Amino acid sequence: MRIKKRFRYYHYLFVIGILFANFNFIFGQNSLLTGKVTDTSNEPLIGVNILQKGTHNGTITDIEGNFSINCPADAVLVFSYMGYQNQEVVRNGRSAVQMVLELDSKMLAEVVIKGAYGTVQKRSDMVGSAFQLNAKELEGLPANRIDNILEGRIPGLTVTPNSDDASSTKSRLFVRVRGEGSMSASNEPLWVVDGTPIYSGDRTNMIPGISTSISPLTYINPNDIESITVLKDATTTSIYGADGANGVILVTTKGGYAGERKVRLSHQTGISKINQSTRFKVLNAKDYLLLAKEAFVNSGRDLKYFPFQDNTSNSYSSANTDWSDVYYDTGYYSQTNLSIRGGTDKITYYVSGSYLDNKKTIIGNTQSRFSIRTNIDVKLSKDITFSLNNTSSYNVNDVFVPGNDYYEFLPIYTPYNEDGTMRLYNTSLQGYDNAGNPTWNRSIFRNSVAEREENDNNQKAYVTNTNAKLDYQILPGLKSVTQLGIDNQNINEETYNAKTNWSGMSSTASTGYSYRNNFNLLSWTAIQRFNYNRIFGKHLVGGILGFEARSSDSKTLGARGSGFINDKIKEVSYAVERKGSSGRSTSRSLSYFAQVAYSFDSRYYLTINARRDGNSGFGSDAQWGDFGSIGSSWNIHNEDFFSSDVINILKLKASFGSNGNSRIGSQEALGIYSYSESDNYMNELGGTMSGSPNKKLSWETAYMTNVGLRIGLFNKIDIDVDAYNKKTVNLLSNLDVSRTSGDTRSYRNSGEILNRGIEATIEARLIDTDKTFWSLSLNASHNKNKLLELYNGMEKVMGNNIWKEGTDLNTLYLVRWAGVDPRDGAPLWYDVKGNVTRTYNAANRVAWKSTSPIVTGGLTSDVIYGPFSTRISLSYVIGGYSFSSFGRNVMSDGLYIMSENQSVNQLDRWQNPGDVALSPKPIWGTSTKSVMNSTRHVYKTTNIKLTNVSISYSLPKSISQRIGATSCMAFVTGDNLLVWTPYDKKDRNSYKQSMIGYPLESTFSVGLDLSF
C-alpha cells in the first residue's frame, strides 16, 4: 500500500513537472510577432519604437509602419513615438497585432506631417515648409466653416473678409498664404480633401449664377477632420504645379482602425450675441434732431420749414428707434455629432453623422447642415487594399441682407405704423400754403424689415464628395495607388419679392418678382501613382511617379418672372412675364508628376520634384508648362560631433522651385461672344464680342526660395523660423487694348510681383508635471509685397488703390485729408505738393499707405490641470491701413442727413470760429466735398482678437461607467469674445466698428462629449 501511495505521489509530481515544463516551453520561448502601427487616420507611422518591457529587445517600424519582433508569447510590448501617447499591449500568444497610436496633446513638436500624394514624414525629416493642425487642436473651434478656424493658427496664413461693406450676411473670406501674387487671377490656395481637389468658388470665391454666394467650405463638417496641413514653399507645393502658387491646404478626414469599436457622441448648444463694442455707433433721436436742425440752420433755412415735424403719420418728436434692436436678436447654435470607428485586420471603418443648426444674430439668417461620412478600408488580400471615402451634405440657408439700413435708417422713423402694419411711407413737411396751413410730402420708405418678414430668400445645396482608392503592394516598398475623386455640388436658390413691399411693387403697380437660380458642378480627378519607400541600412530612398487627369463642368440656370396673382403662388411658370438664362463652363487638365527623396542616417535630406501640366483654359500656343523644385535639409543635432545640454534640435533647410497659377477661368484665352436682346438688330439675333482671344495666354509662374532654421531648447522650447522670397512673373493681367480690336480690354501675360517675408513659430512647454501641463504656441509673420513690373510701366488706378511699380499691390491712392479749418469749419486737404488747400481735386491723389499689415499672427495657450483643461486662442494684426466705405456716407457733414443717420463722430463738429473739431461744419443738403474719398476715411488696422476660449472637464470614470460610457467630458466654449484696438474711444467710431459690414458675433456654448 505504501509503495502504491508513493508511486501515486511521484506520478502526480511527474505530471505536474511535465505540465510546468510545457508551460515554460510555450510561454517562455521566443517566437515571431508581426504587425503594423498607424495613427487615428489609418496613416502608417514610420520609426515607431517597439520594446519588450523589462528587456533590451526591440525594433522600429519601417516606411509602411510594419514591424516584426521575436518575443515570448506573454511579452508586454511598449510602443512609443514622439508626439504620440505611449501604449502597452500584451501579446497573449498572438502572431500579429495592429496598433493605433493617438496624439499626445502635451507633445506636439514631433508630429507626423501628411504631405502631397500620400507622403508622410516626421517633422524632423521635413525638407519643406508645412504646418499642420490635428484633430485635438481643432476641437472646440467654430464648426460652421473650416477656413475661418485657421485665423491666427498658421504662420504665414491670413483670413480676412473680402469686403468691409454690408452687401452680404454670408461673408466671403480671403485666405492668403504668404501674400498676394496675382492682380487678376485668384490668390486663393488650393483645397485638397483626402487627396483630390475640391471646388471652393471662382477666383474671388463667388458661386456663378447665384446672387448670394455661400462658401462650399461651410458644407464640410470639421468634426470629421483628422488634420489640416498647409503647404507653403516650393518643395511641398511644386508637385501640384499649375495650382500650387498660392499654397495648398490638405484636409485629411478620420479613418478606421483595427481594434475595438469606439462610439463617440457629442452635443453642443449655445447662444450668440452681437459684440456691442464692434457695433457702428450712430446717433439716437435726440442727438440726430439736434444735429439735423443745426445743419438746417447752417444752410440758411428757417426752422419753421424743418421737414421732420409731427403729423398724423409720423411722430418724430417721440420716436427713438434703435435699428440694431430691430435687425439683431439673440442667435442660437446647436450641433450634434455621432461617430463610430473600429475594424478588424481585414476591414476598418469610420462612420459619422452630424446636424448643425445655426440661427444668426442678424434676424432672418439661418444655417442648417446635415452631413454623413463613411470612410472604409478593405484589405482584399495581403497586398491589395480598397478604400472608399464618401461624404454627403445637405445644406439649407435662409438669407436676409439688411445692407446699410441697420445703421443708416433715421432713429426718428419706425418700422411699423401705429396699427402694427409695416411702414411703407413717411410724411414730412413740404411747406405752407397761402393760408399758412402746412402742406405735407408723402415719400416712399423702402422698409427692409417688411422685406425680411414678407419675402423669401432660400438656398438649398446638396454636396457629395467621393474618393475611391486601390492600393497594390507590388514589391516591398513599391506601391501602386489608383484613385478617383468626384466633387459634385448642386445649389438651388429661390427668391421671391412680395407684392406688399417696395421690393415687389412700384408706386403704380403691385407686381411681385420671383427668381430661381441653379448652379451645378461635376468635377472628377483621376490619379495613378507609384510610391516607393525603402530603407537600406542608413539610407532611405523614396519616390513618386504618376499622372493626374481632371475635368470640371459647371452649369448655371436662371429663371425670373414678374406679375403674380398673389404672394402664395411664387413659381416662375405662373408669372405674367417670364425670362430665363443659362451658362456653362468646362475645363480639362492633364498632369505628369514625379518626386525623388533621399535621406542618410536621419541627418541629410534631399527632395526633388517635377511636374508637367496641360490646361484647356489657356491659349493653344501655351497650354503646357513645366514646374519643379529642389530642397535639402540637415539635422545637425544627429551629427556625432554635436553635443549640447541646451540644444536638443538644430536643423537647417533650404529649397527653390517654381509653381503656377491657373485660376482665372476657362474662357479668357478663347474669346467670348455674348448674345442678348440688346445685341439684336432688325429683329434678328445678334451678338457682340465680350472677350478677345489670346492664343499665347498662359499661367503665371511663381519662383520660390525658402530657407529655414529650427532650434529645440531644453526639450521644452521649439523655435521654427522660415524666410522666403516669392517672385511671380508673367502675371495674368486684363489690359487696355485698342478699340479697333473690337474690345476695350484683353488678358495678357505681363508684370511681376515680389513677396518677401519671414515667419516664426515658438512652442514652449512651460509646465510639464504629472498633474499640471501648460504650453504656449506663438506665431508671427511679416510679408512685404512689391510690384516689380507693369505693362510698359503704366500705372493703373483700381478704385481707391493704385498699381505702381515699386509699391505694394495694396497701396491706397487717395487725396490726403488735412482736417477742418478752425476759422469757418470748411474741410481741408493737401495737394500733391503737400500744401493745404480748401478745394478737393482728384488730381491731388497720391500713392499713400498700404492696407497690407506689418505683422500678423496668433497665440494659443493650453493648460491641463488634473481633469480640467483650458485653451485660449487669439489672433493679432500689427500695422496696415483700411479705407472704410462702410461708414463714409454717414459722415456726410449734412449732405445726406435728411435721409441717413450719422456717425457719432459727427457730434465733434465745428460750431464757432476757433473750434478745433473732428468734423466740418454740417450744412443741410450741401456738398462741401468732405465725403469724397480721402484719407479721412482711413483707419489703422492694428488689433487683437480673442477668437476662442474653451474649458473642459473630464468626469471621473466611476460616473462615466454609470451611464455605460468609457469617458465623459463636459465643456464650455466662447468664440469672438473680445476685440481690442489701440485707437478706439468710447464715443467714437474707429476701425473696431468698421472691420466688416456687420458687428462681430460672439458665441457662448456648452457641450457634452461621450465615448463608448
Segment 446-465, tens digit of pLDDT:
999 999 999 999 999 999 99
pLDDT of 18 above 70: no
Tell me the residue type at 502.
W
Instruction: Report pLDDT for 107.
Output: 53
Instruction: Report pLDDT for 402.
Output: 94
Taking alpha carbons only, the member of 80, 102, 81, 79 closest to residue 89 is: 79
Instruction: Report pLDDT for 43.
Output: 76
What DSSP assignment string belongs to 904-938?
Answer: GGGGSB--STT---SB----TT---STTSSBGGGE
What is the C-alpha to C-alpha distance for residues 998 and 164, in angstroms, rounded to an integer? 8
What is the C-alpha to C-alpha distance for residues 383 and 225, in angstroms, rounded to an integer? 27
Place 23 in a pLDDT band, splitting at 50, 70 and 90.
very low
Q: What average pLDDT is seen over the chain?
A: 90
Instruction: Report pLDDT for 751.
Output: 92
Query: How distant, in Å, are the alpha carbons of 532, 560, 593 from that of 544?
Result: 6, 51, 8
Place 567 in a pLDDT band, splitting at 50, 70 and 90.
very high
HEC secondary structure over 787-824: EEECHHHCCEEECCEEECCCCCCCEEEEECEEEECCCC
Instruction: Report pLDDT for 744.
Output: 67
What is the C-alpha to C-alpha distance for residues 654 and 639, in angstroms, rounded to an integer? 19
* Residue 731: count of CB within 10 angstroms of its CB: 24
What is the C-alpha to C-alpha distance for residues 516 and 535, in angstroms, rounded to an integer? 60
Region 728-732: mean pLDDT is 91
Q: How many residues does the chain have?
A: 1012
Region 478-489: mean pLDDT is 96
Region 126-149: mean pLDDT is 88
Query: How distant, in Å, are the alpha carbons of 289, 428, 567, 623 from that of 425?
Result: 20, 10, 21, 59
Please report, rounded to a whole number, the percentage of residues in the chain having pLDDT higher than 90: 71
SS3 529: strand
pLDDT of 746 above 70: yes
What is the C-alpha to C-alpha distance for residues 810 and 174, in angstroms, rounded to an integer? 14
Place 108 in a pLDDT band, splitting at 50, 70 and 90.
very low
Q: DSSP E strands: which ranges in 750-795?
A: 752-768, 772-789
Place 9 in a pLDDT band, splitting at 50, 70 and 90.
very low
912 and 841 in contact (C-beta within 8 Å)?
A: no
Region 877-895: mean pLDDT is 90
Region 339-359: mean pLDDT is 95
705 and 745 in contact (C-beta within 8 Å)?
A: no
Non-local (6+) Cβ contacts of 986 within 8 A are none
Cell numbers standing for residue 894: 449734412
Tell me the residue type at 104.
D
Query: How distant, in Å, are the alpha carbons of 509, 829, 992 from that of 499?
Result: 9, 48, 39
Region 46-65: mean pLDDT is 85
1005 and 980 in contact (C-beta within 8 Å)?
A: no
What counts of helices (H) and strands (E) characterise the chain? 8, 53
Region 508-523: mean pLDDT is 94
pLDDT of 20 above 80: no
pLDDT of 474 above 70: yes
pLDDT of 200 above 70: yes
Report the sign of the C-alpha dihedral through residues 93, 94, 95, 98, in that order: negative
Query: How distant, in Å, are the alpha carbons of 588, 658, 698, 699 from that of 749?
Result: 21, 17, 7, 8
pLDDT of 548 above 50: yes
pLDDT of 5 above 70: no
Tell me the residue type at 820.
V
Cell numbers standing for residue 915: 473750434
pLDDT of 986 above 60: yes
Instruction: Report pLDDT for 914.
Output: 96
Instruction: Report pLDDT for 15.
Output: 40
Cell numbers standing for residue 676: 442678348
What is the C-alpha to C-alpha distance for residues 50 and 80, in angstroms, rounded to an integer? 7
Region 104-117: mean pLDDT is 70
Place 262 in a pLDDT band, splitting at 50, 70 and 90.
very high
SS3 351: strand
Q: 283-300, pLDDT tens digit by residue? A: 999 999 999 999 999 999
Cell numbers standing for residue 963: 451611464
pLDDT of 19 above 60: no
Instruction: Report pLDDT for 354.
Output: 96
Instruction: Report pLDDT for 739.
Output: 65
Q: Are strands 855-865 and 772-789 parallel, antiparallel or unpaired?
A: antiparallel
pLDDT of 359 above 80: yes
Please report, rounded to a whole number, the percentage of residues in the chain having pLDDT higher than 70: 95
Torsion of CA 915, 918, 924, 930, to 10 degrees: 120
Region 727-754: mean pLDDT is 80
- From the number of C-beta atoms within 10 Å of its C-beta (0-12, 13-18, 19+), residue 42 rates as buried
651 and 725 in contact (C-beta within 8 Å)?
A: no
Instruction: Report pLDDT for 22.
Output: 41
Q: Degrees (nearest 5) of the Cα angle 991, 994, 998?
A: 145
What is the C-alpha to C-alpha distance for residues 591 and 612, in angstroms, rounded to an integer? 6
Region 643-670: mean pLDDT is 88
Taking alpha carbons only, the member of 694, 727, 672 closest to residue 622 is: 694
pLDDT of 14 above 70: no
SS3 320: coil
Cell numbers standing for residue 199: 471646388
Query: How distant, in Å, are the alpha carbons of 270, 363, 416, 452, 940 from that of 326?
Result: 22, 8, 11, 11, 31
Q: Is 919 left (phi over 0), alpha (psi -120 to 50) or beta?
A: beta
Q: Which range (349-363, 592-606, 742-756, 922-936) has the least confidence?
A: 742-756
Query: How distant, in Å, are the alpha carbons of 201, 344, 525, 775, 1012 from that of 340?
Result: 32, 14, 28, 31, 9
Q: Which range (420-429, 485-494, 683-692) has the least confidence?
A: 683-692
- From the number of C-beta atoms within 10 Å of its C-beta (0-12, 13-18, 19+), residue 150 rates as buried
Q: Is 693 left (phi over 0), alpha (psi -120 to 50) or beta?
A: beta
Q: Which range (23-27, 695-699, 836-840) has the least confidence?
A: 23-27
Region 826-848: mean pLDDT is 96
Non-local (6+) Cβ contacts of 797 within 8 A are 803, 813
Region 722-733: mean pLDDT is 93
The dihedrals phi and psi of 38, each to the nearest 5 degrees, come to -130, 170
pTM of the model: 0.88
Region 982-1007: mean pLDDT is 91
- From the number of C-beta atoms within 10 Å of its C-beta (0-12, 13-18, 19+), residue 381 rates as exposed
